[in-house]
Amino acid sequence: MQIELSKGITLQPGTFTAVISPVKVMVSALNTATDLQRFLFLYVSGNYSRLLSSINRSSRNFDVQRAFTAHQLFTILKEAGHTVILIEHDPTLFEGAESMLPQIAGMLKEAGRESLVILYAPAVDRSYAVLMRQADRIIEIVPAEDPQGHTLCRSSRSHRTGGTRPYAQQTLEVL
């Protein structure tokens, strides 16, 4: 089972991946991944969601949970037993609970050992930056303008290895 974000960029089970991309890219990836119908899928959002209303949810295996606080997110992750766990990042969950960020990052990493864990945000903020430090992979897809003014996607990927600093590789996608 894989989710293809963009040509040549896939998300695979057994990893915790932090994804920064436009909403359209993530919605398209989720809606075109036909394998998702067969697996237990947990979608976790915070106080609001940019993605949920655009995702095709015809599968009975698609669970939605909302966390309004960092403590609720922690509990949801602790109890999750799904094949795919997608967390749409909401920075308001951590207002006044910044001390929980490392704990939740550890929970995401732990869950990623047995599931495909995706931490999604359209842009990086302070709390997302702390959470993504534990990620096995960090994928950033940003809009780029071509000479004719059309929007293309440019990808910047970095991988974690041991305790070393992540390196970045930039790839221009050809559409």
In the structure, what pLDDT confidence band is assigned to residue 87 with cuts at 50, 70 and 90?
A: very high
| Predicted pLDDT of residue 43 | 93
> Residue 160 has which token pair?
């974690």
CA 40 to each of CA 10, 85, 133: distance values in angstroms, whole numbers, following the listed order: 19, 9, 26
| Beta bridge pairs of residue 144 | 152
Mention the CATH class of domain 3-172: alpha beta
Half-sphere exposure of 42 (CA within 13 A, CB side): 22
Q: What is the pLDDT of residues 140-149, one digit of tens each?
A: 988 766 545 5
| Residue 149 backbone class (left: φ over 0; alpha: ψ -120 to 50; beta: rest) | left
Mean pLDDT of the chain: 82
Tell whether the model's pLDDT for residue 165 goes beyond 80: no
